[in-house]
């Protein structure tokens, strides 16, 4: 029986490779070949490495595959005894000595679908097991022929549990030879990455194979799980080399913070629509829409520039960005006021626009702090600051409404508190990078603008096409229609924190993998992120569609009931926007952002034309369907572009 030994290496020393060759030679296997799969330069995960080795071994007509970690020793094993195991099992392992204990295969807890090694020595030599340790697995060729290869989505840990589970479902025999032992040094035992992947992949295994009862049990048990797991994961968060987990920490913290912010502002929204009529709520919406129209000019693409291009000399580059962003905020503020005057808004709308326009400066300061913390992979700090501020802001705004029942009080409180927020973020940035100046450095600014200008155009075009429906609706149908449409749209807007959190957390990782030319990892991240955002977006959209007509009438006054129908249409834009974000981040990281400009330019023309033609007849329902159609086009066009870009960069 020809045997293939498969070792997956990662930064493994040559001396260890030579030791393994020597030990295998000492086993005196008659017909064998060794396959060393080195994952050091292009790490596709342990399962990915195993699959590479299996494919090579199958080409060489190996009938028995021995999959092993490089940190094991065969010095106490005898190959002659392996022939006995062939008669009993299709996948098997041996007794493994590690951490001062001996383990005899593994068992799956059928309450939680979690795998654990067995330390109690069995009475018999050949013992069935739920799975065998992935540090050394014996697999017959017929198993691979029937169930295929390892699931590479696990990346690290639990891939052997998954494979053995699949094999047993296919009626193959899995077990342990408790008589023969080998040593596993487990060089990763002190690695905090292990805790993360074990935690993540156990949940993956549960949701892949678990029953409804098992999944519900895990959800009920979640508080206990977090109490046990979080201390281990916090250790990992301190390790600056663990990029993927930092993404997890930042993404989770940004989502929690943003979720709290959105819940607070959603509560404020409910207060607003219950105390003010649609035409009054329209004033609130128009003020924020008008200010938001030119906000991309304030940023000028510098946030995207910072996340993509600031990888070294962080303090110096953030200082340069700060001075540029300050002058941009002055220009944006001035142009916003001028534009509002040109639009000939009445005084009851113009004054709120002026007061809300000071948010531009707050965004400039808080955005700079977010850039700084994000490039240091500590964006959770910015999320905490934002969360605390938003709590105080919403509390004061709600108190202002309840005490005065006057919409102008909302704008005055907004003006005061956002100016305070500007000062707070100014001091936080100063504390991190040292003294800040407003020195004009045209040469440096031109260099930044050259790289960020494309992001500015994209942001402006995206902003215009996402807000133009409100402006056209106000121009053609009036403030009441704006109020009804905006109340429905507000639910989608409340959920956009997921998109923002994803973008801030994922963009540095895409950029890192692109610069390091890690094509397989880059593509795998796209696949994983598409799955992630789909799992998040689709259930939310379906939930609002089916439950909205039942629950939302309890929250809305009768004047806003048509807003529920608007929401049921427009909520399906959320999963599409999330998919768009994955594709956009990938394209930005590969320095092909210019191609996106044409898409958003097309979208702007598409949105203006259809809204102008259809709003007179279908009012706010036209705007809802046009928004959804635009997002579908975005996904399709960006998918085509991304496929082309990936082919060019990673052929």
Is 119 inside any structural domain?
yes
pLDDT at 235: 47
Cβ-in-10-Å burial (0-12, 13-18, 19+) of 27 comes to: middle
Work out the mean pLDDT of the chain and round it to a whole number: 82
Give pLDDT tens digits for 539-576.
999 998 998 888 888 777 778 888 889 999 999 999 99
Q: Which of 158, 191, 224 is a domain's end point?
A: 191
Stretch 216-241: mean pLDDT = 54
Q: Is the pLDDT of residue 116 over 80?
A: yes
Higher pLDDT, 201 or 229: 201
What whole-number distance in Å separates Cα of residue 10 and Cα of residue 14? 11
Grade residue 312 by pLDDT with cuts at 50, 70 and 90. Answer: low
Quote the number of domains for the chain.
2
Q: Is the pLDDT of residue 237 over 50?
A: no
Grade residue 236 by pLDDT with cuts at 50, 70 and 90. Answer: very low
What one-character DSSP code corresponds to residue 102?
E
Contact of 121 with 102, CB cutoff 8 Å: yes
DSSP string, 402-421: HHH--HHHHHHHHHHHHHHH
Which stretch of 189-198, 256-265, 331-340, 480-489 has the lowest confidence by average pLDDT?
189-198
Give pLDDT tens digits for 37-61.
988 877 778 888 999 999 999 999 9
Check whether residue 180 and residue 288 sit in a common domain: no
Q: Which of 191, 219, 253 is a domain's end point?
A: 191
Beta strands in 39-131 (DSSP E): 64-68, 72-73, 91-98, 101-103, 106-109, 114-117, 126-128
What whole-number distance in Å separates Cα of residue 567 and Cα of residue 545? 8
Check whether residue 413 and residue 327 sit in a common domain: yes
Cα four-point dihedral sign 372, 376, 377, 381:
negative
Higher pLDDT, 27 or 35: 35
Residue 247: strand, helix, or coil: helix
Query: What are the structure tokens assigned to 536, written together?
Result: 């998040």
Is 313 inside any structural domain?
yes
- 149 backbone dihedrals φ, ψ, rounded to 5°: -95, 180
Is 196 inside any structural domain?
no
Give pLDDT tens digits for 380-398.
778 788 888 988 999 999 9
Contact of 449 with 300, CB cutoff 8 Å: yes
Check whether residue 72 and residue 160 sit in a common domain: yes
Q: Is the pLDDT of residue 211 over 50?
A: yes
Q: Are strands 136-140 and 114-117 parallel, antiparallel or unpaired?
A: unpaired
What one-character DSSP code corresponds to residue 157?
S
CA dihedral 67, 73, 75, 78 (to 10 degrees): -20
**N residues, the chain:** 651
Grade residue 343 by pLDDT with cuts at 50, 70 and 90. Answer: confident
Give pLDDT tens digits for 484-503.
998 888 888 878 877 877 77
At which residue do the structure tokens 């001996």 appear?
102
Q: Is the pLDDT of residue 358 over 90?
A: yes
Check whether residue 337 and residue 443 sit in a common domain: yes
Q: Write b or e for each residue in 266-287: b if 16 or more Cβ atoms lie within 10 A of its Cβ, otherwise e.
A: bebbebbbebbebebbbbbbbb
Stretch 266-287: mean pLDDT = 88
Tell me which H or E stretch contains 253.
helix 243-275
Helix axes 222-237, 192-209, angle to 10 degrees: 150
Grade residue 307 by pLDDT with cuts at 50, 70 and 90. Answer: low
Q: Is the pLDDT of residue 34 over 80?
A: yes
Contact of 107 with 129, CB cutoff 8 Å: yes
Grade residue 241 by pLDDT with cuts at 50, 70 and 90. Answer: very low
Check whether residue 397 and residue 315 sit in a common domain: yes
Grade residue 168 by pLDDT with cuts at 50, 70 and 90. Answer: very high
- From the centroid of its chain, how far is CA 141? 38
Is 394 inside any structural domain?
yes
Check whether residue 281 and residue 135 sit in a common domain: no
Closest CA to 200 of 131, 238, 251, 165: 251
Check whether residue 162 and residue 280 sit in a common domain: no
What one-character DSSP code corresponds to residue 73?
E
pLDDT at 617: 92
Is 206 inside any structural domain?
no
Q: Is the pLDDT of residue 361 over 90?
A: yes
pLDDT at 242: 47
Stretch 25-48: mean pLDDT = 84
Closest CA to 624 of 495, 459, 470: 470
Question: Domain containing 147: what range?
Answer: 3-191
Grade residue 170 by pLDDT with cuts at 50, 70 and 90. Answer: very high
Check whether residue 391 and residue 514 sit in a common domain: yes
Check whether residue 142 and residue 21 sit in a common domain: yes
Grade residue 239 by pLDDT with cuts at 50, 70 and 90. Answer: very low
pLDDT at 99: 78
Check whether residue 37 and residue 176 sit in a common domain: yes
Cβ-in-10-Å burial (0-12, 13-18, 19+) of 649 comes to: middle
- Residues of the chain above pLDDT 70, percent: 84
Is 93 inside any structural domain?
yes
CATH classification of the domain holding 128:
3.90.550.60
Q: Which of 191, 226, 251 is a domain's end point?
A: 191
Higher pLDDT, 90 or 264: 90
Is 102 inside any structural domain?
yes
pLDDT at 257: 67
Q: Is the pLDDT of residue 154 over 50?
A: yes
Ramachandran region, residue 582 (left: φ > 0; alpha: ψ -120 to 50; beta: rest): alpha
Q: How many of the other CB atoms lie within 10 Å of CB of 52?
A: 18
Cα four-point dihedral sign 331, 336, 341, 347:
negative
Check whether residue 159 and residue 267 sit in a common domain: no
Residue 640: strand, helix, or coil: helix
Query: What are the structure tokens assigned to 491, written together?
Result: 């639910």
Contact of 99 with 188, CB cutoff 8 Å: no
Check whether residue 184 and residue 261 sit in a common domain: no
pLDDT at 256: 66
What whole-number distance in Å separates Cα of residue 74 and Cα of residue 138? 14
What whole-number distance in Å separates Cα of residue 157 and Cα of residue 485? 49
Helical segments of 60-191, H only: 82-86, 141-147, 159-169
- Residues of the chain above pLDDT 90, percent: 29
Grade residue 253 by pLDDT with cuts at 50, 70 and 90. Answer: low
Query: What are the structure tokens assigned to 417, written together?
Result: 């508190």
């Amino acid at each position: 029986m020809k045997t293939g030994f498969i070792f997956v290496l990662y930064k493994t020393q040559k001396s260890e490779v030579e030791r393994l060759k020597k030990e295998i030679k000492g086993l005196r296997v008659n017909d064998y070949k060794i396959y060393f799969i080195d994952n050091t330069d292009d790490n596709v995960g342990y399962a990915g490495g195993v699959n590479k080795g299996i494919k090579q071994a199958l080409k060489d007509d190996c009938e028995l595959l021995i999959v092993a970690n490089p940190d094991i020793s065969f010095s106490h094993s005898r190959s002659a005894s392996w022939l006995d195991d062939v008669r009993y099992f299709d996948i098997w392992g041996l007794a493994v000595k590690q951490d001062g204990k001996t383990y005899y295969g593994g068992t799956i807890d059928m309450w939680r679908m979690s795998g654990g090694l067995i330390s109690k020595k069995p009475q018999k030599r050949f013992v069935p097991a739920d799975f065998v340790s992935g540090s050394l697995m014996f697999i017959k060729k017929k198993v691979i022929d029937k169930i295929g290869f390892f699931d590479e989505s696990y990346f690290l840990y639990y891939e052997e549990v998954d494979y053995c589970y699949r094999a047993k479902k296919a009626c193959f025999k899995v077990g342990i030879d408790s008589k023969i032992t080998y040593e596993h040094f487990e060089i990763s035992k002190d690695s905090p990455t292990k805790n993360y992947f074990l935690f993540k992949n156990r949940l993956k295994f549960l949701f892949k194979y678990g029953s409804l009862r098992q999944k519900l049990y895990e959800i009920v048990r979640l508080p206990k799980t977090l109490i046990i797991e979080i201390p281990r994961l916090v250790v990992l968060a301190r390790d600056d080399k663990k990029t993927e987990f930092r993404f997890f920490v930042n993404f989770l913290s940004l989502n929690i913070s943003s979720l709290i912010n959105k819940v607070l502002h959603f509560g404020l929204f409910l207060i607003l629509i219950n105390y003010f009529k649609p035409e009054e709520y329209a004033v609130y919406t128009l003020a924020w829409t008008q200010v938001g129209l030119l906000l991309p000019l304030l940023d000028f693409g510098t946030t995207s520039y910072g996340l993509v291009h600031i990888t070294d000399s962080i303090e110096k580059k953030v200082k340069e960005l700060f001075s540029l962003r300050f002058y941009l905020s002055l220009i944006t503020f001035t142009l916003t006021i001028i534009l509002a005057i040109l639009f000939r808004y009445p005084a009851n709308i113009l004054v709120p626009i002026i007061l809300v326009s000071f948010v531009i400066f707050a965004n400039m300061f808080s955005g700079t702090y977010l850039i700084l913390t994000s490039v240091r992979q500590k964006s959770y700090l910015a999320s905490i600051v934002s969360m605390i501020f938003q709590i105080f802001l919403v509390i004061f705004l709600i108190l202002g409404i309840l005490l005065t029942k006057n919409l102008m009080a909302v704008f005055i409180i907004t003006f005061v508190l956002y100016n305070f927020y500007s000062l707070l973020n100014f001091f936080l940035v100063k504390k991190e990078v040292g003294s800040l100046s407003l020195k004009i450095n045209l040469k440096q600014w031109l260099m930044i603008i050259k790289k960020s200008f494309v992001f500015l155009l994209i942001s402006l075009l995206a902003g215009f096409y996402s807000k133009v429906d409100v402006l056209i609706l106000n121009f053609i149908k009036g403030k009441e229609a704006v109020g009804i449409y905006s109340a429905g749209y507000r639910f989608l807007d409340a959920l956009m924190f997921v998109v923002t959190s994803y973008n801030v957390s994922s963009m540095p990782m895409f950029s890192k993998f692109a610069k390091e030319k890690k094509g397989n990892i880059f593509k795998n991240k796209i696949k994983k992120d598409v799955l992630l955002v789909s799992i998040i977006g689709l259930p939310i959209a379906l939930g609002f569609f089916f439950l909205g007509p039942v629950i939302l009438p309890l929250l809305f006054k009768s004047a806003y009931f048509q807003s529920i129908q608007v929401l049921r249409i427009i909520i399906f834009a959320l999963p599409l926007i999330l998919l768009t974000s994955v594709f956009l981040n990938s394209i930005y990281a590969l320095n092909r952002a210019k191609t996106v400009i044409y898409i958003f330019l097309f979208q702007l023309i598409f949105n203006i034309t259809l809204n102008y033609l259809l709003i007179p007849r279908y009012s706010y329902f036209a705007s809802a369907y046009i928004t959804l159609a635009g997002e579908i086009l975005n996904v399709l066009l960006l998918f085509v572009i991304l496929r082309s870009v990936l082919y060019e960069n990673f052929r």
